[in-house]
A and B are shown apart, each in its own frame.
Chain A
Amino acid sequence: MSSTTFQPETRGVVRRSPALASRRKMVDLTVKWLCMAATLIGLFFLASIMLTLLWRGLVALDWTVLTEEFRPTRYGDDTAPKGGLVHAIIGSLIQTAIGTAIGTPIGLLVGTYLSEYARGSVLGNVLRFVSDVLLSAPSILIGLFIYQLVVLPMGGFSGIAGALALAIIVIPVVVRTTEDMLQLIPNTLREAVIGLGAPKWKMITLVCYKAAASGILTGILLAVARIAGETAPLLLTSFGNNVTSFDLTRAMASLPIAIYQQANSGFPDLIQIAWSGALLITLGVLAINIIARAVLRGRN
């Protein structure tokens, strides 16, 4: 380090005050180390979460987790059959699929409106603002909203209520990426299509969507990843269930809620099952995220 102290690059300053120069170097070096430490802290947390999940989740992850329904604890009775999470996995798949199926077209149309019809208009700006706020709004409030709107009139918790809550969460994610991706399309392409005599809606649906397809797909994947792990709104809408159910008008299980309930049960065997569920869901969500990034990068 002595060489940096005695031969700094900043000659003008050094001639006047070597002490000042070395202090500036020291400050710079300190900040540099602190920033590296900060980055390591961030990476450490990610590693800690992943290792904890792998460590605790792999222990309990076996075939029964994927094939059996919920069973009460085996605590004190090792001969009792082991339970699993298949009811929750099925419930999650159903609600995520319906939520995505409802939310995606709406989000796609809104994103199209913002990019192709409402650039600079008042309605467009308000809509963009509202969509951005919804993107970060507390998801539990969406649960309360659907509770008032669907659960109360229906007289009870239901799978369809859960799917609707998830759909509301999907919309702003798809809006954001759709608008961003459509904006990347050069106007010359649009002009070329219009110049051939095509109406605007054909230009958008046949050319723009095709050009932005991988970006839009990324948005949908990110939305799926987001709702697959959502817990809070489901607590107030589909509530959870201990058996497999395909009935959308009744309470329906979901993986995050099953994890939540079993992790807080206090029984070691149920907590183990919760860990394996947590591992499954995290690997799924992170895999979707990484695929989404790869899709987007493959495009550029």
Chain B
Amino acid sequence: MGARAAPKPIGRGRGVDIGDLLFEWMCRGAGILVLLLLGGIIVTLFIGALPAFREFGLGFLTSTDWNPVEGRENYGGAVAIFGTVASAILAIVFSVPVAFGIAFFLTELAPEWLRRPVGTAIELLAAVPSIIYGMWGLFVVVPFVQMHIQLALGDYLTAIPLLGFLFESRFFAGTSLFTAAIVLAIMILPFIAATMRDVFLQVPPVYKESAYGLGATRWEVVKGVVLPYTRISVVGGIMLGLGRALGETMAVTFVIGNANRMPQSLFDPSTTIASIVAMEFPESLMGSLKQSALFALGFLLFVISFLVLAASRYLLRSRLKA
């Protein structure tokens, strides 16, 4: 019996209690069920995706077509895949400096009485449902990007040689890759900030005190002691944010513009895997090729986010052990 491998020799009285056996197997059964769930998700996504993979092969990854007209059906995932990765990476770029600032503030700068309320407020950002971010994004962030950011940046940054095209767009609705990245950045901010704060707190005080004793400033202590000590976990926290951003659905659906066209600039509308599935799946016919193409995109999203989240978990393992 595998149960005998349990490290703690407690609970072994006279013979085996039938209740013990039953309870342990209930627990183990629930565990196996969770493993089956993950396996089931992979398998069902793949089965759903098979017809599309058969039809389009590897070209599915590179084709930007999305034509649901009967007889000329042709589906490619390139736009959604690109939009997913681009919006998530852009969100990380926006989010990480702010998250670092918050973590630094909460661990080194803030007075003791301020740490808990501010920390809680930032954590509450993670509790706000994504549909709320979507609505707020659509009615607050989108007009702001449209009226202020896009025009302002458009005026100055399009003049930059080579990179100017990133800011030059013929779309002025405010729904764009850029807007999606902003909203995503706010959504993943609490996850990254909380992870960073937790790992910063794990640096042994002696290390920091020695640096302070040598006359280092607070920034020098963070740069020279805290960050080197925690950098693996910090990267893990960033990967966690990336994993979240890749799969975020509702908030992105509201603000990205849902255009299945390769974006030519940051301010062009685009789409992501999650939002194209949310938009098009409910209205697609059961068992249609389109549905299968959406399953194929879902399968790809699963693979990408699984890898990112697994990497995050691996990098954060030292934190989890502590």
Within the complex, what minimum Cβ distance (angstroms) separates A78 from chain B?
A: 23
Contact A231 B306 (CB under 8 A): no
Q: Is B59 an interface residue (CB 8 A)?
A: no
Residues on A with beta carbons closer than 8 Å to the beta carbon of B240: 136
Check A141/B45 contact, CB under 8 A, given A126-B35, A259-B131. yes
Write out the residue numbers on chain A whose beta carbons fall within 8 Å of the beta carbon of B219.
27-28, 31-32
Asked if B101 is at the interface of the complex by the 8 Å CB criterion, the answer is yes
Cα A131 to Cα B33 in complex, Å, equals 11
B53 within 8 A of A: no
CB distance from B122 to the nearest CB of A (A): 5
B1-37 CB contacts (< 8 Å) to partner A: 3, 5-8, 10-11, 13, 17, 19-20, 22-24, 26-31, 33-35, 37
Q: What string of 1s and 0s marks CB contacts (under 8 Å) between B276-320 and chain A?
A: 011001100010000000110010011001100110110000000
Task: Find out whether the CB atom of B274 lies under 8 angstroms from the CB atom of A229.
Answer: no
Q: Is the CB of B30 within 8 A of A110?
A: yes
A81 contacts B by Cβ under 8 Å:
no
B151 at the interface (CB under 8 A from A): no
A113 CB contacts on chain B under 8 angstroms: 24, 27-28, 30-31
User: A203–B8 Cα gap in the complex (Å)?
Assistant: 14
Could you tell me if A120 and B131 are in contact, using CB atoms closer than 8 angstroms?
A: no
Contacts A133-B313, A148-B47, A229-B130: A194 and B10 contacting too (C-beta < 8 A)? yes
Interface of A is mostly: helix
Does A101 count as interface, using CB distance less than 8 angstroms? no
Q: Mark contacts of B46-59 with chain A using CB atoms, 8 A cut-off: 1 yes-contact digit, 0 otherwise.
A: 01100000000000
Q: How far is the CB of A20 from chain B (nearest CB, A)?
A: 12
Question: Does the CB pair A129–B37 fall under 8 Å?
Answer: no
| Beta-carbon contact of B34 and A117 below 8 Å | no
Is B109 among interface residues, defined by CB-CB distance under 8 A? yes
Q: From B26, B45, B193, give the contact of A144 (CB < 8 A).
A: B45
Q: A119-B7, A148-B48 known; A42 and B189 CB under 8 Å?
A: yes
Judging by beta carbons under 8 Å apart, are A149 and B30 in contact? no
Contact B34 A197 (CB under 8 A): no
CB–CB B246/A35 < 8 A: no
Binds B, one of A6-14, A64-72, A242-250: A6-14
| Contact size range, B | 35 or more
Interface flag for A210 (CB, 8 Å): no
In the bound complex, CA of A204 to CA of B20 (Å): 10
B125 within 8 A of A: yes
The minimal Cβ–Cβ distance linking A290 to chain B, given in whole angstroms, is 8
Interface of B is mostly: helix
Asked if residues B125 and A45 are in contact (CB atoms below 8 Å), the reply is: yes
For the complex, is A5 an interface residue (Cβ under 8 Å from B)? no
Question: Is B165 an interface residue, CB under 8 A from the partner?
Answer: no
Which B190-228 residues have a C-beta within 8 angstroms of A?
Answer: 190, 193, 215, 217-220
Q: Which residues from A are CB-within-8-Å of B306? A: 133, 137
Residue of A nearest to B35 (CB): A130
Task: Report if A263-B124 is in contact (Cβ < 8 Å); known contacts: A141-B45, A200-B10.
Answer: no
B60-68, B74-82, B134-142: which one contacts chain A?
Answer: B134-142
Hey, which chain A residues are within 8 Å of B7, CB to CB? Answer: 119-120
Residue B69 at the chain A interface, CB threshold 8 Å: no
From B241, which residue of chain A is reached at the shortest CB distance? A136
Of the A-B pairs whose beta carbons lie under 8 Å apart in the complex, a sample of 23, sorted by A's number, is A9-B215, A28-B220, A38-B98, A42-B121, A42-B125, A42-B190, A46-B125, A48-B140, A117-B28, A123-B31, A138-B249, A144-B48, A144-B294, A148-B44, A148-B48, A168-B37, A171-B34, A229-B131, A231-B249, A232-B274, A256-B131, A260-B134, A274-B135
| 7 nearest CB pairs, A to B | A229-B129, A138-B247, A38-B101, A200-B11, A201-B23, A113-B27, A109-B30
Spell out B's residues near A (CB within 8 Å). 3, 5-8, 10-11, 13, 17, 19-20, 22-24, 26-31, 33-35, 37-38, 40-41, 44-45, 47-48, 97-102, 104-106, 109-110, 118, 120-122, 124-125, 127-136, 138-140, 186, 189-190, 193, 215, 217-220, 240, 243-244, 246-250, 254, 274, 277-278, 281-282, 286, 294-295, 298, 301-302, 305-306, 309-310, 312-313
